[in-house]
Amino acid sequence: MATAYSLGEIAGLVQGAVEGDPTLRVLGVLPFDAAGPEYITCAASAAFLNRFEQTRAGAVIVGRAARCTGKPLVRVDNPKLAFAKVIALFHPPARPFLGIHPKACTGEGFSCGTDPSIGPGVVIGSHVTVGDRVTLYPNVVLGDNVTLGDDVCVYPNVSILERCRIGNRVTIHASTVIGSDGFGFAPDGEHYHKIPQTGIVQIEDDVEIGAGNTIDRAAFGKTWIRRGVKTDNLVHVAHNVEVGEDTVLVAQVGIAGSVTIGRHAILAGQAGIAEHLSIGDFAIVGPQAGLAKSVAGGQVVSGSPAIDHKLWLRAARVFAMLPQMLKRLSVLEDRLARLEEAKQNGNGSGYPQDS
């Protein structure tokens, strides 16, 4: 049976203020248009606040200054953040298995913290250390000498290869590979010789890695995903890349080797970053941008090759007009050719005559 919480308890969780009955209990959380009288919802934007009276929810999370009445409210500074916390309250993460499943395989020297959840088919190499409350879903592979911190959750079919280090409160979604070899080959005539990739991947605390990511180990040293980074699905991070704190990498971003990205940057979907570039703090690289030169902190770039976003908007407008401009140019070229022909024939036809 679902656990009910009072508005007072919810307000305490989100540092909010109750407007109405703090003892009112709600059974769960639902979207604005789906919530019924026993549920709490959120009206964070003007689109929902403008039709506030239409929701059937028993209580609503709103901003401190929101002009709405007629229902019990929880007023907060950041409604969207508060809503996320309330969702997590009603939907805590499930743990598939308590303890170490008998069909998990652990190598020698395995060190495990308290309260593990290690499912069937998990393979753990030698001298691996995992912290407290670690969850490993079925078919996870941890290579030799891997280290995981506390409260790490690794979803099915993830491989974390030898010597890689994962911090605390990290989530890694299904089918991601951490520590695959960097793409390094030395040309040898018509052939290529593999350059050994001797480094590691280090992922710091509070990082979430999406499904199907590939994060390559460094040639030397480390590929470094710093605290609070969030990646979407199908992101590729090459060898020796450093991704700064709280940076977001959206779906299908591809980052070539030895790129340095500052903190709180955003790389939008399908952006491609050439090797050895730097991207500054709070920079934004637009969707499908092809970055061929470094980007300063706070700069916004778009297009391929990427240029300043405002300039790209102007260029994109011109690009859409090119067929019409080409047609007009053809007409002008034809008129100019006829004028030149008239001049050569000596009749001018409106063209200035030589004295």
Q: Answer yes or no: are the C-beta atoms of 209 and 215 closer than 8 Å.
A: yes
| The pLDDT value given to residue 103 | 97
Q: How would residue 97 be classed by pLDDT, with cut points 50, 70 and 90?
A: confident
Average pLDDT over residues 132-161: 98
Give the closest residue to 166 by CA, choosing from 140, 205, 199, 132.
205
> What tens digit of pLDDT does each residue of 280-335 get?
999 999 999 999 999 999 999 999 999 999 999 999 999 889 999 999 999 999 99
What per-residue confidence (pLDDT) applies to 347?
63
Distance CA 174, CA 153 (A): 10
Residue 352 vs residue 313, higher pLDDT: 313
Give burial (CB, 10 Å; 0-12/13-18/19+) of 97.
middle
Q: What number is the average pLDDT over the span 26-53?
A: 96
User: CB–CB of 82/74 below 8 Å?
Assistant: yes
Q: What is the pLDDT of residues 106-142, one digit of tens each?
A: 999 999 999 999 999 999 999 999 999 999 999 999 9
Is the peptide bond prior to 120 cis by the omega test (within 30 degrees of 0)? no
Most confident of the following: 199-203, 316-320, 334-338? 199-203
> Looking at residues 97-106, what average pLDDT do you find?
95
Which amino acid makes up residue 155? Y
Q: CB 11: neighbour CB atoms within 10 A?
A: 20
Tokens representing 70 are 């007629």
- Residue 228 to residue 321: CA distance in whole angstroms: 43
pLDDT (0 to 100) of residue 96: 85
Place 355 in a pLDDT band, splitting at 50, 70 and 90: very low
Asked if 285 and 272 touch (Cβ cutoff 8 Å), the reply is no
Summarize the confidence of residues 79-91 as an average pLDDT: 97
Residues catalogued as catalytic: 239
Indicate if the pLDDT at residue 348 is higher than 90. Answer: no
As a whole number, the mean pLDDT across the chain is: 95
DSSP 63-109: ETT----SS-EEEES-HHHHHHHHHHHHSPPP-S-SEE-TT-EE-TT
Task: Name the pLDDT band for 94 (thresholds 50, 70, 90).
Answer: confident
Instruction: State the pTM of this model.
Output: 0.89
pLDDT of residue 350: 53
